[in-house]
């Protein structure tokens, strides 16, 4: 949906993923979309160099997120939220909404 503006479907997926899951790491993004890790890392570094994203080390893991100091952050987030709203619920659940803790035992699925 945002591919014509962002010039890359991978960039679109990364930005939407980071909107839904702040402070994510590249391997998680690559695994989630079945995209080559090197491609994801290249796009993350490119957007970080442009100031759109930031990264920080947490232990041995480098996490990425939307840069709070990016001048157009509000506008970018509004555009991403609007694009996110147009995704089907199945796509949101499958690709973007990540379960952070295990399901409680005995709870029906």
Provide the residue ranges of all domains of the chain, joining segments of one domain with +. Answer: 8-94
101: confidence class by pLDDT, cuts 50, 70, 90 = low
Tokens describing residue 18: 């980071």
pLDDT of residue 102: 60
Does residue 17 or residue 100 have the better pLDDT?
17
The 10s digit of each residue's pLDDT in 15-52 is 999 999 989 999 999 999 999 999 999 999 999 999 99
Reported CATH class of domain 8-94: mainly alpha
Contact 66, 76 (CB under 8 A): yes
pLDDT of residue 107: 66
- Is the confidence at residue 81, as pLDDT, over 70? yes
Residue matched to tokens 């939220």: 81
Q: Which helix (H) or strand (E) covers residue 63, if one does?
A: strand 61-66
Query: What's the rounded mean pLDDT across residues 57-75?
Result: 93
């Amino acid at each position: 949906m945002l591919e014509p503006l962002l010039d890359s479907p991978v960039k679109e997926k990364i930005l939407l993923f980071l909107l839904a899951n702040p402070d994510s790491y590249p391997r998680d993004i690559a695994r989630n979309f079945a995209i080559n890790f090197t491609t994801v890392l290249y796009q993350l570094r490119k957007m970080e160099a442009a100031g759109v994203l930031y990264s920080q080390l947490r232990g041995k893991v480098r996490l990425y997120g939307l840069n709070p100091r990016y001048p157009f952050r509000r506008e970018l987030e509004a555009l991403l939220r609007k694009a996110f709203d147009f995704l089907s619920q199945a796509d949101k659940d499958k690709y973007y909404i990540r379960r952070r803790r295990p399901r409680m035992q005995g709870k029906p699925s």
